[in-house]
Amino acid sequence: MTETTDRLTECRDPVLRVVPAPADINSNGHIFGGWVLAQMDIAGGIVASREVQGPCATVAIEAMQFLAPILLRDIISVYAEVERVGRTSISIRLDVIATRDRGEQQVRVTSGLFTFVALDDNHRPRPIVRDTRLA
C-alpha cells in the first residue's frame, strides 16, 4: 500500500465496493472508464442524498483523473469525502482504490470531484437545510 491509499483506507469505510464483470472490459483488457465513472456517480449520489436529506442529481464532474487501469479481477472500493456544501449543491471528492493480487496490493486508480444539486418534489433545485445538531 502507498501512503495515499493508506490515508484513504485506514480511517473510513468505502461507500461502495464492486467487482467488475467480464462484460466491463474494453479492447485493451482493462475496465471501461465509463463503468468506473458510473460506480463513482452511484457512490457520490448515496453520500449526497444522505447529506442533503433527500433526492439529488449530478450536475458536474470536475477534475476527473484516471491514474491507473482497473483489471478484471480487481475489487474496487469507492471512498467519498464532502468538500463543500453550498445553498443548493454539494461537492464530493471521490477516490477509487483497486485491490488486486488477492489483496496484496492496493492501487489508487481514479479520483474526481462530483457536484450534486438537492431536488424538491418537482425535480427543481432546493435549498439544503443542514442539521446543526450534527455540526
Number of domains in the chain: 1
Q: Is the pLDDT of residue 79 over 70?
A: yes
Residues 6+ apart with CB under 8 A from 99: 74, 75, 76, 77, 105, 106
Measured between alpha carbons, how far is 20 from 7 in angstroms, rounded to an integer? Answer: 24
- Residue 134 inside a domain? The answer is no
pLDDT in tens, 24-73: 999 999 999 999 999 999 999 999 999 999 999 999 999 899 999 999 99
Q: Is the pLDDT of residue 1 over 90?
A: no
SS3 100: strand
What CATH number does the domain containing 68 carry? 3.10.129.10
Q: How confident is the model at residue 120 (pLDDT cuts 50, 70, 90)?
A: very high
Range of the domain at 112: 3-128
- Residue 46 inside a domain? The answer is yes
- Residue 111 inside a domain? The answer is yes
Measured between alpha carbons, how far is 76 from 36 in angstroms, rounded to an integer? Answer: 9
CA distances from 78 to 2, 121, 122 (A): 17, 29, 30
Which one, of 68, 102, 63, lies nearest residue 83 by Cα? 63
- Residue 133 inside a domain? The answer is no
Residue 1, all three cell numbers: 500500500
- Residue 135 inside a domain? The answer is no
pLDDT for residue 4? 53
